[in-house]
Chains A and B, each alone.
Chain A
Amino acid sequence: MANPAAKQDPLEARLAALSMPDCAGWAADARNGALGRLRAIGLPSKRDEYWKFTNPATLTQADAPGASLFKHEEPLPFAEVDRLHIVFVDGVFDAEASDDLAMEGIEIERLSDAQTRDIHWAKDLYGSLEADGQTPVDRPLAALNTAFASDGIVIRVSGQPTKPINFTYRHRDESSDVILHHVVKVEEGAKVTILENGPAAARFSKTMEVDVADNAEFHHVRTQGRDHERRAVTHMFARLGENSVFKSFTMTVNGVLTRNEAVIDIRGDNATAHIAGAAVGDKATGDFHHDDTVFITHDAVNCESRQVFKKVLRNGAEGVFQGKILVKPGAQKTDGYQLSQALLLDDDSSFQAKPELEIYADDVQCSHGSTTGAIDEEAHFYLRSRGVPADIATDLLVLAFLAESIDEIEDETLRADILDRLQAWLDRHRG
């Protein structure tokens, strides 16, 4: 390294390995603003309270640790779904593999194109929900993402497009280090479904900022899978208007390190926010550490939020859940529900959870529960006594355990697709 000082300072070392894309005007302002936030906060370290259960070292080091590719013959998720398909290969937009960026009811384009022009809605959104999301908890890796994202997709939905938009992130290069940033603005009364899948990169940083206006709906189904050695830190920042609906589900299989943060800010009355996840890890096929970190703020009346996170951990796999519901003064009639559960298939696996409620209104209903358990032996024996082999009985109980989170996916086809993925994973990891 040319600069000896860089060795002293991890942030400088990280920054030295990054370059801000060429852009002018609003995008440069937003990126520089984010860089300022990052410099003020510094990179996360395992000494930070918010990173107590997940060591960010490999996410912050200058060079991405490599990740070998995991090849199998199964079709990719959502392959059967009629969708607008957008493909990134190691973070680089693949025009050939992608559909035309055009559909009735939406404006859609690449960030790298949008940032050169004065697009008011993208300008208002890019980096702004991320900036808001920096309080009360620092999220330096999100600021880094805003500052240095090489590309992404910006979408403005004004109607009700007939097809979901599907981002597929392919991973080809074993050392790819990718930063993408999407913004989605769902205008009043509009409705959109975003799908995401694919391992993306050896190290992947992804942020999505979603503004759901009054009476609008945003649906999101994501799979993170395959490559065992991949690392990812993702941020979902959402702002919800009156009567709006936000629903997000993530399935994660494999992955040496995944940290998914969701920051949901409920600003309009009568809004609904559901966020769910199903993660399965088996250390026998590679280290697995999965962290769901969620922060939901209720700042409006009569809103419902629901968190349902389930993890199945085997052979020493690790799961983390940090979830908070903050009910601000005046956010009466809040209905907040938070469930985080882990099913440990052996004594080597572990689950750490930090569920939190912080409530400043008096007429609210909030509940949270976190459990760690093993397979129900009574149920397991009952199944076996009917002739179901032990491993299949375990699989049935695993899927039963995950059901409550998978049921959060409203669309039947997507739900079936996710179930197929999980079944395939279980088939690969039997015994």
Chain B
Amino acid sequence: MLDIKNLHVSLEEEDKQILKGVDLTVEAGKVHAIMGPNGSGKSTLSYVLSGRDGYEVTNGAASLKGEDLLDMEPEERAAAGLFLAFQYPVEIPGVGNMTFLRTAVNAQRKARGEEELSAADFLKEVRAKAKALKIDADMLKRPVNVGFSGGEKKRNEILQMAMLEPAMCILDETDSGLDVDAMKLVAEGVNALRDEGRGFLVITHYQRLLDHIKPDVVHIMANGRIVKTGGPELALEVEQNGYADILAEVA
């Protein structure tokens, strides 16, 4: 599904290398988790994959279902099936959540040569999915993320994911800022989307989320590289001992 090979990334503005050869493959139907110390490059990886400006790929490749991702515009990557739940969702004053969602859903459909969703069908679908995530009608009407609490923003990310039904979902610390109940809701939202055709890359600092979204593979990222890969037990080890042992072991 998602293939990342030897990915090297520097900042455009300053001469600073952040990703120093990332190798990672997420197969369809699997959930991969990435853990790693602050500043190790996890968010940068997710931004580079989704096409944000400001980074320069100096080496390596990334593809989605065999298509070269790095060549595409952000919206093309989205239409190809890539989705990033942001660590810090952006507030957009003046753009209604509903308008935004409908524009996004229909733009992707159009890009894939599919028919646009009718206003009625869209409304029905968004209401059902919002309800499952306990997002009330008022939040749907408000401008995108404006005045949303931290947890509400994260649920809104999952709502977008549920509406867009992407093939490859990257979740960047979606659990941060969530209370226990909201975490369950979000996990249920993610689990509802799990199927053979879909891959997940879950970036998190805590085992807690992984109790609900059971990963198949866990990676440890440090200093711009994947330094260790293992099964779910690796996350438990981090939870108990921190990164010191792992980093010492690979150093």
Contacts and interface: CB of A to CB of B under 8 A. Distances in A.
Interface of A: 376-379, 381-390, 392-393, 396-397, 399-401, 403-404
Chain B interface category by residue count: 20 to 34
A383 B100 contact: yes
Contacts of B93: 400
Nearest to A398: B94
A376 to B, nearest CB: 8
Interface of B: 50-53, 73-75, 77-79, 83-84, 86, 89-95, 99-100, 103-105, 107-108, 111, 143-144, 160, 164
Contacts of B144: 382
B147 to A, nearest CB: 15
Contact of A389 (B77, B107, B164): B107
B94 A387 contact: no
Nearest to B84: A385
A189 to B, nearest CB: 36
Given A392-B103, A392-B107, A396-B103, A385 B74 contact: yes
B86 A387 contact: no
A387 B90 contact: no
B194 to A, nearest CB: 21
A383 B104 contact: yes
Contacts of A377: 53
Nearest to A381: B52
A316 to B, nearest CB: 24
A385 B91 CA distance: 14
Contacts of A393: 75
Contact of B51 (A376, A385, A389): A385
Given A378-B90, A387-B79, A387-B111, A396 B100 contact: yes
8 A-B pairs with least C-beta separation: A400-B94, A387-B78, A387-B108, A386-B104, A384-B74, A382-B90, A403-B94, A379-B92
Contacts of B94: 397, 399-401, 403-404
B75 A390 contact: yes
A379 B89 CA distance: 9
Nearest to B82: A385
A382 B107 CA distance: 14
Contact of A385 (B78, B92, B103, B143): B78
A213 B166 CA distance: 60
